[in-house]
Amino acid sequence: MKHIGTALPQRQPGGQNSLPKSEAPDATQNAASTGRPLSSTPARLPDEAVSTVLTRLRAMHGDAFDRRWTGVAIADLRDTWAAGLAGISGQELAAGLRAAAAHRWVPTLPEFAAMCQPWRDPQAGFELAQQLMRQRIAGRHTDWPAVWLWAAAQRMGGDLLALPWSKAAGRWESAVSAARRDADAGRLPAAVPEFVPGNTLALPRPGQARITREEAARSLSALLERCAARRTGKGK
């Protein structure tokens, strides 16, 4: 078995925060944030990207990194991290590396994944959803990191912006669980639909209703957002 330090490639020129082309956001982007169906999420991070991440972590922590993974074959380490970081974008990997540099300890795979996507923490996700929904209602561009995060915000309705975390925690975690189930089952739209303030829905004539499940979901989401906008004084 190769020693971890000698098996990993040497750091490539380009600066501490540069990542290889295979790790660019469009190559490893989270499926939910790009609008691709969940089934198209990569099964693993590209090998070059994994090697870059592990090499950077070793450069930060030196011998502590080697001691952390003593007895672990480099091939096993790479395979485990490649699978565990699947779907994380290049920008998120860079954010994770910056966060790891601020700590004295060598992160485990789950710890590093959380550094890359801190919004997966319930409270952090709730606060990000509040921020993005306020921007959305105000008519500003929003970049939701995952469609299920937006869907969880829809389930909260106007209470998302009305309640503090201390009172919304239980409901938010339930909303996230339901939204994740919908995402896994393919019941969410491919991308977060555009919010059109003041948009109204035309009711069909009796007996003439023809609407798909996805159209119904979009209509319900639009209605919930308009309710939230009115509750915060942003809508008409």
Determine the pLDDT at residue 151.
96
Q: Please report the DSSP string for the chain in residue order.
A: ---HHHHSPPPPSS-TT---GGGSHHHH--HHHHT--GGGS-SS--HHHHHHHHHHHHHHHTHHHHHHTTT--HHHHHHHHHHHTTT--HHHHHHHHHHHHT-SSPP-HHHHHHHH-GGGSHHHHHHHHHHHHHHHHTT-----S-HHHHHHHHHHTTHHHHS-HHHHHHHHHHHHHHHHHHHHTT-S-SSPPPP-TT--PPPPPTT-----HHHHHHHHHHHHHHHHHHHTT---
CB 63 within 8 A of CB 91: no
CB 126 within 8 A of CB 165: yes
Q: How far apart are CA 136 and CA 101, in angstroms?
A: 33
Determine the pLDDT at residue 39.
36
* Total residue count of the chain as it appears in this document: 236
Determine the pLDDT at residue 197.
64
pTM of the model: 0.60
CB 191 within 8 A of CB 35: yes
CB 127 within 8 A of CB 165: yes
Determine the pLDDT at residue 173.
97
CB 67 within 8 A of CB 220: no
| Tens of pLDDT, residue by residue, the chain (236 residues) | 455 555 555 444 444 333 433 333 333 344 333 333 333 456 899 999 999 999 999 999 999 999 999 999 999 999 999 999 998 989 899 999 999 999 999 999 999 999 999 999 999 999 999 999 999 989 898 999 999 999 999 999 999 999 999 999 999 999 999 999 999 899 999 999 987 665 444 444 555 545 455 555 555 566 566 556 655 555 54
Q: How far apart are CA 154 and CA 152, in angstroms?
A: 5
The residues, ordered by sequence, that sit 6+ positions from 146 with a Cβ below 8 Å of its Cβ are 30, 32, 33, 119, 183
